[in-house]
Amino acid sequence: MPPQNALYAQSGGVTATINATACGLIEAARRQRTHIGRVYAARNGILGALSEDLVDTTAESASAIRALMHTPGGIFGSCRYDLSPLPQGRAQYERLIEVFRAHNIGYFFYNGGNGSAETAHLIAKILPRLGWPVTAIAVPKTIDNDIVRSDSSPGFGSVAKFVATSMREAMADLASMSHSSTKVFVMEVMGRYTGWIAAACGLALPASEDGPLLLLVPEVHFDRRRFLAAVRLRIARHGWCAVAVAEGLKLRDGRHLTQTGGDGIPGHEQLGGVAPLIAHMVREALQVKVHWSVLDYVQRAARHLASQTDVDQAYAVGRAAVAYAVQGKTDVMPVIQRSSNHPYRWRVTPGALASIMNREKRLPRSYLTADGWRLTARARAYFTPLICGEAWPPFADGLPQHAQLKMRPVPRQLKSVFQIEP
């Protein structure tokens, strides 16, 4: 058979290294000319596929694609949009077949997290049933580190490195000011319903040190009285206290401390705003000066402090996705398996999407001490290799440089316009 074209798309919250995955995938696909013709990218995830809004990456030079290695964000645009199963979503799949047939797309790569894995799974199963054979591969990324069957998720190592560094630097500042000014600093991090990112902040303290840093994660229910007692004790011992809090922090009854909105779809809720709530709680109860920070987009956009391990893994899963596709594998995701901590060794293997999609890998309780405030040695053995190595981007005039792509649009072949429901 003559080679068919490939379509790549990015989905969900982006990371500092998702474009490294795009680089790995596009470079690998360019070397598979007997199987893959052109590599297209959909603008704004699956929405671009449905609306026939495609970019021809063959117009980009090798150096421009290589520059994706050090470019944060999602270069082709992302989205939060889920396909519906049959029969509700039949029109969506029929539209995808129209677009795929019009552009001879036989390979689909969806770069995202747990929800995106389901989209790839549905495409892999439903499109062939409706008459268009397609190879569909989910490619992993998420700062939340909650993809099951994968030891780590591309994107997590870099955000872990950034938040641990930020906390260590903020603690140095706090120690300087605590004698006559601020006693408590609260830093809120992402992570949705898991505490992986907040736990990584614990690396800011040296190993075995019971210092003035508290970790608040969803896996340990928040108890106001116990927390305030812990803060008071650390102020008494050290003169100050730093707190890393996950946005999805929960009470014992399962409610989140704060939830600021969303579109009503499970997994799309917008969490955040817990840091000012915790800060107010401490200020009112202990009558001390408190500062707080919500890192928000900053933590997942910080490519200037990326982990080399994370960059390597992000690139590797992109390459593996292409290898699986040309081998005839479909409905799978390249996942990372760790074989040893010392030295750190890992490899990429295929995982069935049915065993991955819409599931959540939680932070093990064994990664925190009995009181829930600090990291255990087991946790440090897990986290440390993921943040190791510096992968500096090129700088010019004092600022990091990012890829500049031509983004040449693929001419539309269809006259019809698909109405995308919100």
Write out the catalytic residue numbers. 144
End-to-end CA distance of the chain: 39
Amino acid at 336: I
Does 87 sit behind a cis peptide bond, omega within 30 degrees of 0 on the bond before it? yes
d(CA 331, CA 327): 13
3-state helix, strand, coil in the chain (%, to 5): 40, 20, 40
DSSP character string of 253-278: TS-BS-EEE--SSTT--EE--HHHHH
- For 55, other C-beta atoms within 10 Å of its C-beta total 23
Residue at token pair 């700062």: 143
d(CA 234, CA 245): 16
1 burial (CB, 10 Å; 0-12 / 13-18 / 19+) is: exposed
Taking each helix axis from N to C terminus, what angle separates 308-326 and 156-177, rounded to the nearest 10 degrees?
170
